[in-house]
Amino acid sequence: MTIEARVHTSLLTFLRSQNEPYWQHHLTMARLVARSLRLGNSLLLQTGCTSQTYCFSYLSSALLWENAAILVTPPIWQQQLLRDRIPQLARGLAVEKEILIGDRFPASPFKGLLLVSPQSWLRDRLYRENRIPDGIPTLIDPADDWENWTREELTVQIRSEDWQELLEYFPHCQSLIVQTRDRLAEHFYQRPRNPHNCYEISAADSELLETLFVEIDGDRLPPTWQKFIQSWQREEQLKWISATQTPLSKQEETRWQFSLNIAPIEVSRQLEGVWQKQTVVLMGGFLDWDGNAPIYQQQLGLGDLTCVRFSPHRQSECIQLYIPDRLPLPNTKEFQSALLQQVTRLCCGGMLGQRYQHRHQPEWIATVKRPAIVVVEDTPLRMQVGAALAAEFGSKVRVEQTDLPEDGILVSGWQFWRSRQDILPTPQLLVIATLPFPSTENPLVAARVNNYKSRRQDWFRNYMLPVALRELQRAVLPLRDARGVVALLDNRVNHRSYGQIVLAALEPLARINYIDW
């Protein structure tokens, strides 16, 4: 019996024994992962749901696989797997397999499952630390943020302690080093503060650094400085100065410190060799709007592999989507007041079934019974929305806090909501102020856009739109099972050519023109 057949039979028996509804694609995904393990063919899977939903599929294949395998997953998910999912599944499959957590592969003969964090696995692969041998089949879950994780690992950062170390290495250049550091700090603190606390390194800053690099001996550099200068000399690098707050005392006093950062704009070149060292199965909720994931594959430098995208169930995973028309566009001065009015009305309750004061002016009644989430990325506007809602609803309103009452209202940015979806109660209503396009006010985003422009590539379709669609798809996941309502207040969906792509990415959905709680 092949491993595919064994996995299918065993997992089906386990799922039936749970006496609960289960994800409709479990068996198909499990067979695909088992086949990938047997044939050594890499695989990319877009599941359209969270890891909690589909994890039994790949875990059953990994547990029934007779040889060693690696699961690359964040530490917080590792603990949940070890505590609940793996023991539950192993008992149901009647299988015993050694499960370990660590960043080093055990001595032979190990035929178990090793759980490794993405950061540890990337460091080993990128910097050839050889703690994990080549050729071990590797499952990566989730792969949604893999590009960002890789860039973070490839980022070289110069902090305060690195400047001090440079002074110790080159005491004869002390005056130049101190002068360069102080002038960089002066330039940094003279810039107007932005919500991202980072700025692209200017031409004047580059000139200061390059003068310093000429004077110091490259063969005797501290390791961090050596990496920094090597990266500096490469083309297509992100170069920025960022600010961090450092505690000074137990009384919570802090001071701002700046650091120099450099990272590749594109990580595909560094990752191309990584994928060739072993069979990989990359899994995620939403990786690309195309089933073959061409943009995702290009961004990660993926070679030949099988791509599969599972479709959500059109009835049980359908969201209700409310998009009011005739709202001002986000880049207009009228948008702020219209947004505040719409958000207040939505959080007050739903519309009467067929009773209208005006064709586009519904009568609002009732009260939201489950939490409402209002996602506003612009920081000043988020504070204004939070203040307006607090004036209307009092202590029920929270701004980026997790102690949310059962009938509370949370106002947050995109990152806060997505990183805490699993710990916050499932909302009845998700209000999205604007589509989550990366802001070009962020110097790192602007640098990436300029890089696409310099190569005469479509920066919107290749970068901005894919990022927005992935963020949007992940944000609405909790509402699919709960049959919740998503209110999208960005009128560009109705009036821009990419609006149909946005709607297609949110499928399955039911367009509604009134909200009835």
What Å distances lie between residue 157 and 131, 209, 257, 472, CA to CA?
24, 14, 13, 31
Q: Which domain holds residue 484?
A: 319-512
When pLDDT is cut at 50, 70 and 90, the band that residue 347 belongs to is confident
> Domain boundary at 249, 264, 279, which?
264
Give Cβ neighbours of residue 129 (< 8 Å, ≥ 6 apart): 123
- CA-to-CA distance for 153 and 263, rounded, in angstroms? 9
Has residue 351 got a pLDDT over 50? no
Report yes or no on 314 lying in a domain. no
Q: What is the mean pLDDT of residues 272-285?
A: 96
- CA-to-CA distance for 65 and 91, rounded, in angstroms? 16
Report yes or no on 131 lying in a domain. yes
Give Cβ neighbours of residue 505 (< 8 Å, ≥ 6 apart): 286, 289, 469, 472, 473
Query: What pLDDT is recorded for position 246?
Result: 60
Give ∠ CA 277-279-284 in degrees, rounded to 5.
115
Same domain, 38 and 168: no
Report yes or no on 146 lying in a domain. yes
- CA-to-CA distance for 335 and 328, rounded, in angstroms? 5
- CA-to-CA distance for 67 and 111, rounded, in angstroms? 5
Same domain, 485 and 434: yes
Helix (H) or strand (E) holding 154, with range, is helix 146-154
Helix extents (H) in 394-464: 414-419, 443-454, 459
**What is the number of other CB atoms lying within 10 angstroms of the CB of residue 239?**
20
Same domain, 57 and 142: yes
When pLDDT is cut at 50, 70 and 90, the band that residue 425 belongs to is confident
260-288 b/e with 16+ CB inside 10 Å = b? bbbbbbbbeebbeebbeebbbbbbbbbbb
What Å distances lie between residue 493 and 99, 430, 464, 487, CA to CA?
47, 17, 15, 12
Q: Mean pLDDT across the chain, nearest whole number?
A: 89
Has residue 362 got a pLDDT over 70? no
Tokens 């690099």 -> residue: 213
Report yes or no on 348 lying in a domain. yes
Query: What pLDDT is recorded for position 286?
Result: 92
Query: What pLDDT is recorded for position 364?
Result: 37
Q: Tell me the per-residue pLDDT of 430-451, one tens digit each, with 9 for 90 and over.
A: 999 999 999 988 888 998 999 9
Query: What pLDDT is recorded for position 255?
Result: 57
Q: How many domains does the chain have?
A: 3
Q: Tell me the per-residue pLDDT of 199-256, one tens digit each, with 9 for 90 and over.
A: 999 999 999 999 999 998 767 899 999 999 999 999 999 999 998 766 555 554 445 6
Report yes or no on 27 lying in a domain. yes
For residue 340, give the CATH number of its domain. Answer: 3.40.50.300
Report yes or no on 517 lying in a domain. no
Query: What pLDDT is recorded for position 359?
Result: 37
Name the strands in the sheet holding 43-46, side by side, starting at the edge strand that comes first in the sequence: 99-101, 113-116, 69-72, 138-140, 280-284, 43-46, 306-309
Q: Tell me the per-residue pLDDT of 54-84, one tens digit each, with 9 for 90 and over.
A: 999 999 999 999 999 999 999 999 999 999 9
Query: pTM for the full model?
Result: 0.88
More confident site: 474 or 244: 474
